[in-house]
């Protein structure tokens, strides 16, 4: 099978600066998501469910949290030959520099490719939220006799003005790239849509090695050593480079409305909105599809508990339109339209709305929280209010453009 001839390389070393302060203490792929997961769990689950078992994860900045998560929750069986998921820290094998771009990250680890000698190299990011059967993309790569295949998502053409656009011909061969064009070129046959890159690539191995070696030459002083900015724009002039339409990807057990769901959670607002997509009655991103499970490390916590039903004192512990994970205790407080990671405690008479609370958060009595993200192990004092006076919140915490209040990990609130 072609999957046995493939090496997967996950780029998981980015700083994630736009996701600050959630990325203050951890790499972006390690940021918690959906209560019990990490962002990187999506791409890893996609590959495992698709039957790819040779995976290298390239790490760099603030990688301890990511390393711990992968080592605890993503162990491959040592009894299975040629199946592995290895963490690869930045080793500066080609000099004294950190990764200078996505292409340089692969170039600095060329030994991983030459040692394995695969036929195909799949280079995917570790920081997007989506579900994808990658084998369908690879079948498309083979059918097109492509040298390089880029996964792309069709979006409304009005939204494409602020993004990088891929231009294709009628056969979906890529003929141009447009960066934030005033008048984006539409998809052939659909003037209402334009194509945007998802940052996921399939390369024929020999071509990839040649491209990386050329890009690394000292005389190429104008290169930023990035696939999207340098290697791919040059490649469309000399090689067969095709776009794969992600909206046509079909998952077992998935509903039609789920097709094409992909989110770049690179900002606080995007991260918050994508999390909130999960709590709807019929969400676009379904975590409950047994035919395409989302894997992660499972902490050893007891079941969630809801206590007190004292209607006379309004001391009732309940949650509506919310995701509540293991180890949480809702003790006489109210929760609505929110997502809780493990071991969150909500004490009596408190009220949490439209919020994301991460592991170990403790909300004191009579506290009120609205449209906030509370990072791990934060003690919310009794009678505290967050999200009701943004001018006050800005003096203490980070507040996003849309008014999401973010309380950093282990903050001391006085």
Cβ partners under 8 Å of residue 343, min gap 6: 301, 327, 328, 359, 360
Domain boundary, last residue among 279, 313, 328 = 279
The C-alpha atoms of residue 74 and residue 47 are separated, in whole angstroms, by 12
Are 236 and 309 members of one domain? no
Q: What's the average model confidence in pLDDT over 334-355? A: 98
pLDDT at 221 over 70: no
pLDDT at 64 over 80: yes
Per-residue pLDDT at 361: 98
pTM of the model: 0.94
Per-residue pLDDT at 54: 94
The C-alpha atoms of residue 395 and residue 57 are separated, in whole angstroms, by 38
Tell me the pLDDT tens digit for each residue of 74-122. 876 655 567 888 888 866 555 556 677 899 999 999 999 999 999 999 9
Q: What's the average model confidence in pLDDT over 30-48? A: 97
Which domain range does residue 34 map to? 2-279
Per-residue pLDDT at 358: 98
Are 354 and 240 members of one domain? no
Are 132 and 250 members of one domain? yes
Per-residue pLDDT at 133: 98
Tell me the pLDDT tens digit for each residue of 226-270. 898 899 999 999 999 999 999 999 999 999 999 999 999 999 999
Of 332, 380, 335, the residue nearest 355 (C-alpha)? 335
pLDDT at 298 over 90: no
- Counting the structural domains of the chain, the total is 2
In a domain, 92, yes or no: yes
Per-residue pLDDT at 80: 59
Instruction: Please provide the average confidence, as pLDDT, over all residues in the chain.
Output: 92
The C-alpha atoms of residue 308 and residue 316 are separated, in whole angstroms, by 5
**Which secondary-structure segment (H or E) carries 357?**
strand 356-357
In a domain, 294, yes or no: no
Per-residue pLDDT at 13: 80
Q: What's the average model confidence in pLDDT over 210-232? A: 82
Provide the pLDDT confidence category of residue 171 given band limits of 50, 70 and 90.
Answer: very high
Per-residue pLDDT at 117: 92
In a domain, 296, yes or no: no
- Enumerate long-range contacts of 217-225, CB under 8 Å, 24 or more apart: 224/100, 224/101, 225/100, 225/101, 225/102, 225/103, 225/104, 225/107
Are 273 and 378 members of one domain? no
Are 169 and 232 members of one domain? yes
Tell me the pLDDT tens digit for each residue of 363-412. 999 999 999 999 999 999 999 999 999 999 999 999 999 999 999 999 99
The C-alpha atoms of residue 338 and residue 89 are separated, in whole angstroms, by 35
């Amino acid at each position: 099978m072609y999957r046995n001839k493939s090496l997967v390389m996950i780029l998981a070393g980015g700083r994630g600066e736009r996701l600050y302060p959630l990325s203050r203490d951890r790499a972006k792929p390690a940021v918690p998501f959906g209560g019990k997961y990490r962002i990187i769990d999506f791409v890893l689950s996609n590959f495992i469910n698709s039957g790819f078992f040779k995976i290298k994860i390239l790490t760099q900045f603030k990688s301890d949290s990511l390393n711990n998560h992968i080592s605890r929750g993503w162990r491959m069986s040592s009894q299975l030959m040629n199946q592995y998921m290895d963490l690869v820290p930045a080793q500066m094998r080609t000099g004294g520099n950190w990764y200078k771009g996505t292409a340089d990250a692969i170039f600095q680890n060329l030994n991983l490719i030459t040692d394995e000698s695969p036929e195909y190299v799949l280079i995917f990011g570790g920081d997007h939220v989506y579900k994808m059967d990658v084998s369908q993309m690879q079948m498309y790569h083979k059918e097109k006799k492509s040298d390089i295949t880029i996964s792309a998502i069709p979006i409304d053409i009005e939204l494409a003005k602020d993004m990088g656009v891929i231009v294709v011909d009628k056969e979906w061969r890529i003929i141009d790239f447009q960066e934030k064009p005033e008048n984006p070129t539409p998809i052939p046959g659909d003037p209402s849509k334009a194509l945007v890159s998802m940052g996921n690539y399939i390369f024929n191995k020999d071509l990839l090695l040649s491209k990386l070696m050329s890009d690394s030459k000292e005389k190429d002083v104008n290169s930023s050593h990035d696939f999207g900015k340098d290697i791919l724009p040059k490649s469309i002039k000399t090689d067969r480079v095709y776009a794969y339409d992600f909206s046509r990807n079909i998952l077992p057990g998935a509903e039609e409305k789920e097709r094409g769901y992909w989110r770049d959670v690179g900002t606080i607002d995007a991260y918050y909105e994508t999390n909130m997509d999960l709590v709807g009655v019929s969400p676009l991103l379904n975590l409950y599809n047994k035919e395409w499970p989302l894997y992660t490390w499972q902490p050893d916590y007891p079941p969630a508990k809801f206590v007190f039903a004292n209607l006379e004192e309004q001391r009732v512990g309940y949650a509506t339109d919310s995701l509540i994970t293991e180890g949480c205790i809702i003790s006489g407080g109210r929760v609505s339209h929110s997502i809780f990671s493990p071991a969150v405690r909500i004490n009596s008479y408190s009220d949490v709305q439209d919020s994301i609370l991460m592991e170990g958060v403790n909300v004191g009595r009579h506290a009120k929280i609205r449209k906030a993200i509370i990072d791990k192990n934060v003690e919310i004092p009794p009678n505290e209010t967050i999200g009701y006076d943004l001018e006050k919140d800005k003096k203490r915490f980070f507040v996003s453009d849309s008014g999401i209040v973010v309380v950093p990990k282990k903050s001391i609130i006085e």
